[in-house]
């Protein structure tokens, strides 16, 4: 019984150590960027329509198309998906904050309150970044990697019109 207990504890400890080292090793940050960045900046935006929200857009322009696919930008505490058209050399990430809160159902009947939508919980980013730093996740040859961009420039805020043009 004592031997079985020791084997169980050793196996558990080994499992925990392997799991922790795998997690730590999976987020190695590359010293050199896998793509040449021509320009990287972000721009805040605000909607002129009530409930239209606000947010920011991240722009990353590369010098040439490569086999590297940029996936996400970790910027200002947010994880932002990067979109890319094959014919273009620019990746764009959109982050939106909807200013209109959904109505809550308040009722004496608890079953009615179950119809309330749960609030969206933002994923906490796994990096500690300075104010103007951005971490980029990418895929190259089926392997995921990360690299950091320093000094992301902020361009003038974009204010969208209050009404749609007719």
- Is 13 contained in some domain? no
- Is 164 contained in some domain? no
How far is residue 26 from each of residues 7, 29, 50, 97, 140, measured CA to CA in Å?
28, 9, 43, 30, 14
Give the angle 138-139-142 at the CA atoms, nearest 5°. 165
- Is 34 contained in some domain? yes
- Is 96 contained in some domain? yes
- Is 100 contained in some domain? yes
- Domain extent, residue 78, equals 30-159
Q: Could you report the per-residue pLDDT of 124-147, keeping only the tens digit for each?
A: 888 888 888 999 999 998 999 999
Q: Could you report the per-residue pLDDT of 9-58, keeping only the tens digit for each?
A: 776 766 666 665 544 445 678 778 888 889 999 999 887 777 678 889 99
List the helix and strand counts (H, then E) for the chain. Answer: 2, 9
For the entire predicted model, the pTM comes to 0.69
Q: For residue 164, what pLDDT is reported? A: 53
Q: Could you report the per-residue pLDDT of 47-102, keeping only the tens digit for each?
A: 777 767 888 999 999 988 888 899 999 999 889 999 988 778 899 999 888 766 77
Number of domains the chain contains: 1
């Amino acid at each position: 019984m004592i031997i079985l207990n020791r084997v169980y504890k050793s196996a558990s400890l080994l499992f925990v150590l392997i799991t922790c080292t795998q997690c730590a090793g999976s987020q190695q940050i590359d010293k050199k960027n896998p793509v040449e960045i021509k320009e990287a900046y972000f721009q805040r935006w605000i909607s002129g329509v009530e409930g239209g929200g606000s947010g920011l857009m991240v722009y990353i322009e590369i010098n040439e198309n490569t086999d590297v696919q940029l996936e996400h930008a970790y910027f200002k505490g947010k994880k932002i998906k990067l979109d890319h058209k094959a014919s273009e050399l620019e990746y764009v990430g959109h982050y939106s904050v909807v200013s209109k809160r959904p109505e809550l159902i308040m009722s004496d009947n608890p079953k009615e309150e179950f119809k309330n939508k749960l609030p969206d919980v933002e994923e906490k980013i796994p990096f500690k970044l300075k104010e103007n730093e951005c971490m980029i996740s990418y895929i190259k040859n089926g392997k995921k990697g990360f690299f950091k961009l320093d000094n992301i420039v902020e361009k003038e805020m974009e204010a969208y019109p209050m009404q749609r043009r007719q």
